[in-house]
Amino acid sequence: MNDIEQAANELAALLRSSREYSEFKSAQDAAFSNAATKALLDDYRKLQLKVQAAELAGGADEEDMLRLQKLGELLQMNPVSSEYLFAQFRLNNLLGKVYKTLADAVDADLSSVCD
């Protein structure tokens, strides 16, 4: 194993032991233990991806945007799904910072990924 792979494995271990991951995993376990909440979160994620893909292709469908907004509001009213979404956001934020640091080290352009 080369030095970069070894450092990546060490970073992965640090991420797994981070507060952000621990909180995310606990929130995920709680949210996914309820089949209805899990189904709503799965629908939300799929709809998010559909809207993002449509935006990249030139414009999202207004109906999908409204549905995404309403579903997000519904999920925010449930403390379990709300905590999961916030924990997911915090973990994704941490991963984004790590990715940006790595990309900056090799002068990679992340404008299309991070905007």
Judged on CB neighbours under 10 Å (0-12, 13-18, 19+), 78 is middle
Measured CA to CA, the distance from residue 37 to residue 33 in angstroms comes to 8
Q: What is the model's pTM?
A: 0.83
Domain boundaries, the chain: 3-114
Q: Which residues contact 67 (CB under 8 A, 6 or more apart)?
A: 47
User: Would you give the end-to-end CA distance of the chain in angstroms?
Assistant: 34
pLDDT digits (tens, 9 = 90+) for 44-99: 999 999 999 998 888 878 999 999 999 999 999 999 999 999 999 999 999 999 99
Is the domain defined by 3-114 classed in CATH 3.40.50.720? Answer: no
Task: Please check the confidence at residue 111 and state whether its pLDDT lies above 70.
Answer: no
